[in-house]
């Protein structure tokens, strides 16, 4: 019986006879290349070829440079001393030319930049000029001139045209025309440069009634012509006056004739002002009210209330805002379109006058000699100039005398004094 696990005999390659020795070189395993070996061999060949090309390139470039250097050395070695000096001089001149060209290019660029800056400055000056002209035409230009005012060389120039005390003065918008009024009802127009004046003539009672004036109240048989306030329009066409007759009178400055009388106030008209650039007129009265009129249309517009005592001063700029002071120690800013007002209260004394600096800042003067600077943002003065209008005497050097009544009254009189308007001409540096 044969065994199940007989010994395996070594396999003999086909084609070889039994008993011959097996040669390794005849084994197909060692004769055939695997894929991995073929891949590695391809990579080795690629790397070798790259290195050889690079080495060849480096060697070829180095050889070329070496050849060029050798040629230059041979060329310089063959030149004489004069040729060498000439060559160096040419190279030096060439360098100077290149430097000069670069400097010219830089100077040209700088000149172009300067011209561009000059053009920009000219454009900015033109823009500023146009803005200034626009602000001047609209009446919103604010000029700082206090620091430029020079000390006057001469004194006041007095115009002696009034017989009674002067109660009101106003100037036209271009400062060329002046108007003044006195207690006797005289209204004068005078030229600022020459000082020549012309008188306004009041119409008769019948003409006043035709122009809208109502008959006088009480025992008076005619209107009182005592003037307390004056105002001239921005265009210089109209002059407004107010006084004890409780009317606002409008005059034509070109013909100096009376054209309209506005009734409505129940007390003397104490202050007047025109809104800049318009024909709207604001009038304040002792009846504690402020009325708005349209001079061009000769019509009444509205009445503003708020003060608890007589209205003393009103002022207005281009906006529909009225600044007013009264005997109630308050200064009020009326916003006409909004129908609202701001109240500014004085600390101790009564406010006598006020004026706008701009729409947000304004000034006031009080009867104790102080000047206050106010702002819309604050209820108290921002700054106070103490004793701006001080008394002329301090009452310290007084002599005791007997109580005797002098012949001409207790008050002294200067016989040489005259009623008039004083003009002080100012020059700017």
Quick one: which H or E segment has residue 171?
A: strand 166-171
Residue among 265, 204, 192, 196 nearest 229 (CA): 265
The pLDDT-based confidence of 94 (bands split at 50, 70, 90) is confident
Same domain, 50 and 165: no
Which two three-digit tokens encode residue 403? 């109580």
Domain presence at residue 309:
yes
State percent of the chain over pLDDT 70: 73
| Residue 423 within a domain | no
Inside any domain, residue 189: yes
Band (374; pLDDT cuts 50, 70, 90): very high
Residue 168 lies in a domain: yes
Same domain flag for 166 and 51: no
CATH number at residue 261: 2.130.10.10
pLDDT of residue 123: 76
pLDDT in tens, 392-412: 555 566 566 555 555 555 666
Strand order, beta sheet including 177-182: 166-171, 177-182, 187-191, 197-200
- When the pLDDT of each residue in the chain is averaged and rounded to a whole number, the result is 79
Residue 110 covered by a domain: no
User: How far apart, in whole angstroms, are the C-alpha atoms of residue 152 and residue 135?
Assistant: 29
- Asked whether residue 223 falls in the same domain as residue 334, the answer is yes
Comparing 113 with 26, which gets the higher pLDDT?
113
Q: Is residue 350 part of a domain?
A: yes
CA angle (291 as vertex; 222, 362 as ends), nearest 5:
120
Number of neighbours of residue 83 by Cβ within 10 angstroms? 11
181 and 286: one domain?
Answer: yes
Distance CA 285, CA 425 (A): 32
Q: Are residues 160 and 254 in the same domain?
A: yes
70 and 160 in a single domain? The answer is no
Task: Choose from 15-24, 44-53, 83-92, 393-402 the range with maximum mean pLDDT.
Answer: 83-92
Checking 215-220 for CB contacts under 8 A at 24+ apart, the result is 216/245, 217/246
**Per-residue pLDDT, 33:** 55
Task: Identify the domain boundary among 45, 61, 76.
Answer: 76
1, 94, 115, 137, 151 from 104: Cα distances, Å = 119, 15, 16, 49, 54
Give domain status of residue 420, yes or no: no
Phi and psi, residue 361, nearest 5°: -130, 145
Query: Which pLDDT score is estimated for 290?
Result: 97
Distance separating alpha carbons of residues 211 and 265, to the nearest angstrom: 16
Residue 42: per-residue pLDDT: 46
Q: Regarding beta strands 289-294 and 238-243, do their DSSP bridges make them parallel or antiparallel, or are they unpaired?
A: unpaired
Q: In what order do the strands lie in the sheet with 280-285?
A: 269-274, 280-285, 289-294, 299-305
| 204 shares its domain with 348 | yes
Beta bridge partners of 168: 181
Higher pLDDT, 416 or 28: 416
Domain end position, chosen among 76, 96, 127: 76
Pairing of strands 238-243, 187-191: unpaired
Domain count along the chain? 2
How big is the chain, counted in residues?
429
**Domain that includes residue 39, residue range:** 35-76
Radius of gyration, CA atoms only, the chain:
53
Confidence of residue 12 (pLDDT cuts 50, 70, 90): very low
Task: Name the least confident of 115-119, 154-158, 374-378.
Answer: 115-119
Tokens 């020059």 correspond to 427
Same domain, 280 and 378: yes
Residues 65 and 190 in one domain: no
For residue 136, being part of any structural domain is answered with: no
Q: Quickly state the pLDDT bin for 3 (edges 50, 70, 90).
A: very low
Residue 188: is its pLDDT beyond 60? yes
**Is pLDDT larger for residue 417 or for residue 170?**
170
Q: What is the pLDDT of residues 316-357, one digit of tens each?
A: 988 899 999 999 999 999 999 999 999 999 877 788 999 999
Residues 70 and 177 in one domain: no
Nearest to 136 by CA among 282, 277, 311: 277
Rounded CA-CA distance 248/208 in Å is 11
Verify that 45 and 165 share a domain, yes or no: no
Rounded-to-integer distance, Cα 384 and Cα 253, Å: 39
Q: Is there a single domain that holds both residue 201 and residue 325?
A: yes
Cα distance between residue 273 and residue 248, in whole Å = 11
The residue with greater pLDDT, 145 or 243, is 243
pLDDT given at position 282: 97
């Amino acid at each position: 019986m044969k065994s199940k696990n007989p010994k395996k005999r070594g396999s003999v390659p086909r084609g070889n006879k039994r008993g011959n020795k097996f040669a390794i070189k005849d084994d197909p395993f060692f004769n055939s290349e695997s894929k991995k070996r073929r891949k590695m061999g391809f990579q080795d060949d690629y790397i070798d070829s790259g290195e050889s090309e690079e080495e060849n390139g480096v060697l070829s470039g180095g050889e070329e440079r070496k050849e060029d250097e050798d040629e230059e050395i041979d060329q310089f070695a063959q030149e004489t001393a004069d040729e060498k000096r000439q060559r160096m001089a040419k190279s030096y001149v060439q360098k100077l030319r290149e430097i000069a060209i670069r400097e010219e290019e830089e100077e040209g660029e700088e000149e172009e930049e300067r011209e561009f800056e000059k053009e920009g400055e000219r454009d900015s000056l033109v823009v500023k000029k146009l803005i200034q002209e626009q602000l001047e035409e609209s009446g919103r230009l604010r000029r700082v001139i206090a620091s430029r005012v020079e000390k006057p060389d001469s004194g006041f120039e007095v115009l002696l045209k009034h017989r009674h005390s002067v109660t009101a003065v106003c100037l036209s918008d271009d400062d060329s025309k002046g108007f003044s009024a006195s207690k006797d009802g005289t209204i004068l127009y005078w030229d600022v440069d020459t000082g020549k004046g012309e008188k306004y003539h009041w119409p008769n009672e019948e003409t006043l009634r035709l122009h809208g004036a109502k008959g006088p109240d009480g025992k008076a048989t005619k209107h009182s012509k005592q003037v307390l306030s004056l105002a001239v329009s921005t265009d210089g066409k109209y002059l407004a006056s107010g006084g004890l007759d409780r009317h606002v009178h409008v005059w034509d400055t070109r013909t100096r004739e009376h054209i309209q009388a506005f009734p409505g106030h129940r007390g003397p008209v104490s202050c007047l002002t025109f809104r800049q650039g318009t024909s709207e007129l604001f009038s304040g009265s002792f009846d504690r009210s402020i009325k708005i009129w349209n001079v061009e249309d000769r019509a009444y517009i509205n009445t503003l209330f708020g003060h608890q005592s007589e209205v003393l001063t009103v002022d207005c700029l281009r906006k529909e805002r009225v600044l007013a002071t009264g005997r109630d120690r308050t200064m009020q800013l009326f916003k006409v379109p909004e129908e609202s007002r701001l109240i500014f209260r004085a600390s101790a004394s009564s406010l006598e006058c006020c004026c706008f600096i701009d729409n947000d800042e304004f000034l006031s003067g009080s009867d104790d000699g102080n000047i206050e600077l106010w702002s819309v943002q604050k209820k108290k003065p921002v700054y106070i100039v103490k004793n701006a209008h001080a008394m002329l005497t301090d009452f310290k050097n007084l002599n005791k005398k007997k109580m005797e009544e002098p012949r001409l009254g207790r008050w002294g009189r200067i016989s040489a004094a005259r009623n008039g308007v004083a003009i002080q001409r100012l020059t700017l540096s």
